[in-house]
Amino acid sequence: MISQISLFDEDAGQQNHESVKGEFQTAAWLLSLMELPGIGGTKAITLAKEFQSSSALAEANPELLKKLLRGAEINFQQLMYREVELLDDVKVVCYFDDNYPAGLRDLDTPPPVLWYRGSIPENAGVAIVGTREPSSRGAALAFEAGRIASEQGLAVVSGLALGIDSSAHKGSLESAGVNVAVLACDVRKPTPKSNQQMSEEILEKGGCLVAEVPPGTITEARNLVARNRIQAAWANGLVMAECGIPSGTLHTVRFAIQIERPVAVFDPQILGTPSPSNAGNLALSSLDGCDPEILGGTSGFKNLVRARKPCADSVLDSQESTKDFISSLK
């Protein structure tokens, strides 16, 4: 159902929609705000925090609005209230809901709304990420990390991709662990298709498939980068199992460092012969520090990376050190 809200019309009060305190702090209103040209997720959350109802926004001081919107000129007469239509077993959770993953609020750009299937776990989580083309040793270490996380009562947060992600999820699932698979596409159609059975097992064992993109969205490169920040923030810490340079995994590392999540990497020496697939491990574990260019980010962030020697908070060289790091995240 769609109803137009012309907030600044004299007859706004005669609209079918009734203004209610707190209404803006819902998934439907956040999505409606985000459809306005010039309003993205961050501005939608800002408006919902400041003005809890459409009537409060209609009566807002223009100077305050200008300040909150950082000078952006927004035509609120175009605001449309749009009910959220949920299909199949898909649910939504928004920034203001009690079951919204608290860690996501640490992000500069937290997702206002998440679509998900399954159950959002209350367990603390560890993100286990890495390349889609790992060595056999890297895959085995990721599997073991997933198993340890399950035994410690931690949810494994990863992306359901081939390679390291799949190995970490498998290790957790084989120990009856809870998993969070963060997707960059429609949660009803997780990719790759070869992991369809794994996605169903995640749901059966109390985990969830989650995305900030709505049903109907296909996987795109920009969505993959954006979902990496969710993986980093959802978890209490990050294990980077194996990756090369360049690698999308390094975006996840950057986000984790930015929001002060502890980062661990497997020592490249236990991965075997140095190779392009573990060049990221070597860079992040080097006592000489890491070239900040491989992580990207602002000049301020790059200065932070230069000061970290090694860049990773922990370098894991044994099953015991892996268990110690994961246990510390509880």
Confidence of residue 54 (pLDDT cuts 50, 70, 90): confident
Structure tokens at 191: 């990719």
Torsion of CA 162, 168, 173, 178, to 10 degrees: -110
What is the tens place of the pLDDT at every residue in 59-83? 888 889 889 988 888 888 888 888 8
**Does residue 125 contact residue 154 with C-beta atoms inside 8 Å?**
yes
Give the integer Cα–Cα distance in Å for 186 and 34.
19
Q: Which amino acid is at 82?
A: R
Pick the more confident residue, 85 or 122: 122
- Quote the pLDDT of residue 73: 83
- Quote the pLDDT of residue 1: 34
Confidence of residue 13 (pLDDT cuts 50, 70, 90): very low
Chain mean pLDDT for the chain: 92
Q: What is the three-class DSSP state of 246?
A: coil
How confident is the model over 111-120, as a mean pLDDT? 98
Task: Please report, for the chain, the start and end positions of each structural domain, with discontinuous segments joined by +.
Answer: 2-82, 117-327
DSSP string, 16-77: SSPP-TTTTSSHHHHHHHHTSTT--HHHHHHHHHH--SHHHHHT--HHHHHHHTTT----GG
Asked whether the CA dihedral 63, 66, 71, 75 is positive or negative, the reply is negative
* Overall fold of domain 117-327: Rossmann fold (3.40.50)
What is the tens place of the pLDDT at every residue in 249-267? 999 999 999 999 999 999 9
Give the integer Cα–Cα distance in Å for 120 and 122.
7
DSSP string, 95-144: TTSTTS-GGGGGSSS--SEEEEEE----S-EEEEEE-SS--HHHHHHHHH
Q: How far is CA 311 from CA 19, 126, 297, 324, 328, in A?
A: 50, 19, 15, 19, 19
Q: Is the pLDDT of residue 12 over 50?
A: no
Residue 112: closest CA among 38, 237, 24, 212: 212
14-18, 104-108, 259-263: segment of lowest average pLDDT: 14-18
Q: Is the pLDDT of residue 239 over 70?
A: yes
Provide, rounded to the nearest whole percent, the portion of the chain with pLDDT above 90: 78
What length is written for the chain? 330
Pick the more confident residue, 235 or 79: 235
DSSP string, 139-180: HHHHHHHHHHHHHTTPEEEE---TTHHHHHHHHHHTTT--EE
Give the integer Cα–Cα distance in Å for 265 and 279.
11
Q: Which amino acid is at 101?
A: P
Give the integer Cα–Cα distance in Å for 74 and 38.
6
Torsion of CA 24, 93, 261, 208, to 10 degrees: -170
Give the integer Cα–Cα distance in Å for 35 and 83.
13
